[in-house]
Amino acid sequence: MTSTVDTPAAQAGRPTPPSGLVAAARAPRWVRYALLAVGLVAALWLPNGLYPAVAVDILCWALFAVAVDLLLGFTGLMSFGHAAFWGASAYVTGLVAIHAGLPFPAAVLAGALAAALLAVPIGYLAVKRTGIYFAMVTLAFAQMVYYVANEWRSVTQGENGLQGVPRSLFGLDLTDDYYFYYAILPIVLLGLAAAWRIVHSPFGRVLVGIRDNPARARALGYPVHRYKLTAFVLSGFIAGLGGGLFAVGHRFVSLDVLHWTTSGKAVIVVVLGGIGTLWGAVLGAALVVRLEDWLSFSGFEAIGLVTGGIFVLVVLLFRRGIWGSAVVLARRWLARSQR
Amino acid sequence: MTGFLQNTFNGLVSGAFYALLALGLAVIFGMLRVVNFAHGAFYMLGAFGAYVLLSEAGVPFWAALVIMPLGLGLLGMALERAVVHRLTRLDPLYNFLLTFGLTLILQDLVKSRYGVQSSPYATPSALSGSVDFGLFDFPTYRVFILGFAVLVCVAVWWTLTRTRVGMVVRAATERPELTPAFGINVGRWVTPVFGFGIALAGLAGVLAAPMRAVNPLMGADLIIVVFAVVVIGGLGSIFGSVAAGFGIGLVQAWGEAYLSSFPIVSQTIVFVVMAVVLLWRPAGLFGREEAPA
């Protein structure tokens, strides 16, 4: 396996995006603007078509999934421990909001910064390994964070969780989830735009180069570890934004936010939506959150059966994911119509 | 001194579980390049199977110690044929995700049937009581676990180094491209080796049933610690995985005993060791260096 390092990722069977939004052959400009317009309209309409509380969850998970995709799809690193950043930010946000009484965006920012800070040592150690080892190392460190939160009861309240996280914003009444959704939408869009900007910057191009051929990137003089670490910290920050908003949205933080199943769920959301597509991560988040809400609403207890089943089916039969498959179909259709 | 020996012994016993699980993971990884996330779930199934066999069919511990590893080994072989094998040509991450999904399914199947509370499992009567070592007594059952686990590890080591099957497995582990070129049918051994690794997890589960709480989640947290163990030992090295298993068991037991004013230490010490190993020898204590990336 190690001998495949200098061959292109596609040949090694690495999880690669279907040469989607990053490759040279990008969709025509009008298609991209049309998609952006559709996405914005959908985001503005969402709490009118769904329970607003579910819509809030979708926004938070979209940020989380995009953060994971930034590493999995564009850096070639599968973090199986991103719950550490999502959860750490949720706790810090909750604590800041409760004890400092700051408006919630400031608390969320503090949480995301704490997550980024946590991502520095974890990322520094994890990028020393690649592939499956990277997944195991991040998973292990996330479990360590979980244990620490579980033991540090004086701060985290242990199994009881942090209760009564306020939604304060300059005296506005945000108790209704419907208004809260629109209050956090700008923050979420900023986070998503930041991810898009990172991917399409020269820095993002280098990340993709490292993903496809680390040996060549190194030979060209790029400090590969440092690039990976930077991507890891940025990803931790974006995951932290989502986690902080999640804490404020639920007005409650429980140990679940740090559990390994949360990390795994974030990865499956990305794979379902399509690795390396960003749009797919958002779509996957919407689908999975909606599905879980529907399952728990209909009184179905064994949610793990369904999510696990989806996991197995997607990995076996649908590795391109929804967005990845759509891109492939659209490209085929375009190629035919141009002939 | 007595206390120290007792802690050491307890460390070796919990290390025996890590070693058995890490051994199974390492054998499977060596042959298939698959990191089996579901290893913890199979450990849980081993323990749960022993419990169900005893409480619902009256099958004693000794029979379960044979039936469960065999049955789970067969189930593992079926799974390898049905799903795992379809993904082995792709990046190992896909099989990691697949077995993660299987873990969720297996856990929830058991949970929806038996609930999340822990069930007691009586120590077999022949192994109750304790053994007198002069300075101190040890529960007979724990002595049995340690002896049995060491025996299994030695038997696997002997198979790998002294038999034809073992040679094929080692060759396929170390030179996956070259071995078939010698006309060795590696593919024939893939399914049995996967089944064998699963059987080891099931065996560890049956051994754990009388000692630890039997519940659907018992394997989940354990497997993450075992992942840290194999990162420390070096997953490519079968000896390293076993040695790291016992080593981590010892370090945890000592940490628990001598740093008891910090309860967090015993749970997190394995991750701290992993961090140190990553800084000092990123490939693991006994692993070989990966190609630079």
Inter-chain residue contact A14 with B101, CB threshold 8 Å = no
pLDDT tens digits, one per residue of A145-160: 998 888 887 777 877 7
pLDDT tens digits, one per residue of B77-114: 999 998 888 887 888 888 899 999 999 999 989 988 88
CA-nearest of B73, B72, B53, B55 to B63 is: B53
pLDDT score at B288: 67
Chain B residues touching residue A14 (CB < 8 angstroms)? 91, 93
pTM: 0.87
pLDDT score at A305: 86
Q: Establish if A19 touches chain B: CB-CB under 8 angstroms.
A: no
pLDDT tens digits, one per residue of A9-21: 444 445 554 444 4
pLDDT score at A19: 43
pLDDT score at A121: 94
Which residue of A305, A310, A313 is the best one to mutate when testing the B interface, meaning the one whose CB has the most B CBs within 10 A? A305
Kindly indicate the confidence band of residue A3, based on its pLDDT and cuts at 50, 70 and 90. very low
Q: What is the mean pLDDT of residues B38-57?
A: 90
Q: What is the mean pLDDT of residues A32-58?
A: 85
- Assigned token pair, A205: 């191009």
Q: Which residue has the tokens 């799903």?
A: B83
Inter-chain residue contact B83 with A215, CB threshold 8 Å = no
For residues B280, B283, B289, B291, the Cα torsion angle rounded to the nearest 10 degrees is: -110
Q: Establish if B60 touches chain A: CB-CB under 8 angstroms.
A: no
CB A76 within 8 A of CB A9: yes
Q: How far is B91 from chain A (nearest CA, A)?
A: 5
CA-nearest of B8, B24, B103, B26 to B286 is: B26
**Cα gap B31→B186, rounded to integer Å:** 9
pLDDT tens digits, one per residue of A280-291: 889 999 988 888
- Whether the pLDDT of residue A299 is over 90: the answer is no
Q: Could you list the residue range(s) of the whole structural domain that residue B151 is in?
A: 11-215
Among A4-18, A121-135, A294-308, B149-163, the minimum mean pLDDT is found in: A4-18
CB B274 within 8 A of CB B234: no
Q: Establish if B87 touches chain A: CB-CB under 8 angstroms.
A: yes
Task: Indicate whether B248 belongs to any domain.
Answer: no
pLDDT tens digits, one per residue of B172-187: 877 777 888 888 888 8
What is the full DSSP assignment across B46-73?
HHHHHHHHHHHH---HHHHHHHHHHHHH
Task: Indicate whether B241 belongs to any domain.
Answer: no
- Assigned token pair, B42: 């199979």
Task: Indicate whether B234 belongs to any domain.
Answer: no
Q: What percent of chain A has pLDDT over 70?
A: 91
Q: What percent of chain A has pLDDT over 90?
A: 28
- Whether the pLDDT of residue B70 is over 90: the answer is yes
- How far is C-alpha A268 from the geometric centre of its chain's CA atoms? 10
Half-sphere exposure of A293 (CA within 13 A, CB side): 15
CA geometry: angle at A82 spanning A185 and B255, to 5°? 140
pLDDT score at A26: 64
ipTM metric: 0.86
- How far is C-alpha A186 from the geometric centre of its chain's CA atoms? 17
Q: What is the mean pLDDT of residues B136-144?
A: 84
- Whether the pLDDT of residue B263 is over 80: the answer is no
Kindly indicate the confidence band of residue A4, based on its pLDDT and cuts at 50, 70 and 90. very low
Inter-chain residue contact A214 with B293, CB threshold 8 Å = yes
pLDDT score at A339: 65
Q: What is the mean pLDDT of residues B14-29?
A: 91
- Whether the pLDDT of residue B132 is over 80: the answer is no
**Cα gap A309→A313, rounded to integer Å:** 6
Query: Phi-psi region for residue A277, left (φ > 0), alpha (ψ -120 to 50) or beta?
Result: alpha
pLDDT score at B289: 56
CA-nearest of B268, B170, B5 to A142 is: B268
Q: Across chain B, what does the average pLDDT equal?
A: 86
pLDDT score at A2: 36
Task: Indicate whether B127 belongs to any domain.
Answer: yes
Task: Indicate whether B230 belongs to any domain.
Answer: no
Task: Indicate whether B84 belongs to any domain.
Answer: yes
Task: Indicate whether B242 belongs to any domain.
Answer: no
- Scanning B3-22 for CB atoms below 8 A from A yields none
Q: How many CB pairs under 8 A join A and B?
A: 149
Q: Which residue segments constitute the domains of chain A, with CATH numbers given?
A: 13-338 (1.10.3470)
Among A63-72, B7-16, B123-132, the minimum mean pLDDT is found in: B123-132
What is the full DSSP assignment across B214-256?
B-TTHHHHHHHHHHHHHHHH-TT-HHHHHHHHHHHHHHHHHHH
- Scanning A293-322 for CB atoms below 8 A from B yields 301-305, 307-312, 315-316, 319
- Scanning B219-238 for CB atoms below 8 A from A yields 220-221, 224-225, 227-228, 230-231, 235
- Whether the pLDDT of residue A112 is over 70: the answer is yes
Q: What is the mean pLDDT of residues A213-219?
A: 88
Task: Indicate whether B93 belongs to any domain.
Answer: yes
Phi, psi (5° rounding) for residue A282?
A: -65, -45
Q: Taking CA atoms, what residue in B is nearest to A138?
A: B228
- Whether the pLDDT of residue B292 is over 50: the answer is no
Inter-chain residue contact B264 with A3, CB threshold 8 Å = no
Number of structural domains (chain B) is 1
**Rounded to the nearest 10 degrees, what angle do helices A104-126 and A177-199 cross at?**
40
- Scanning B114-153 for CB atoms below 8 A from A yields none
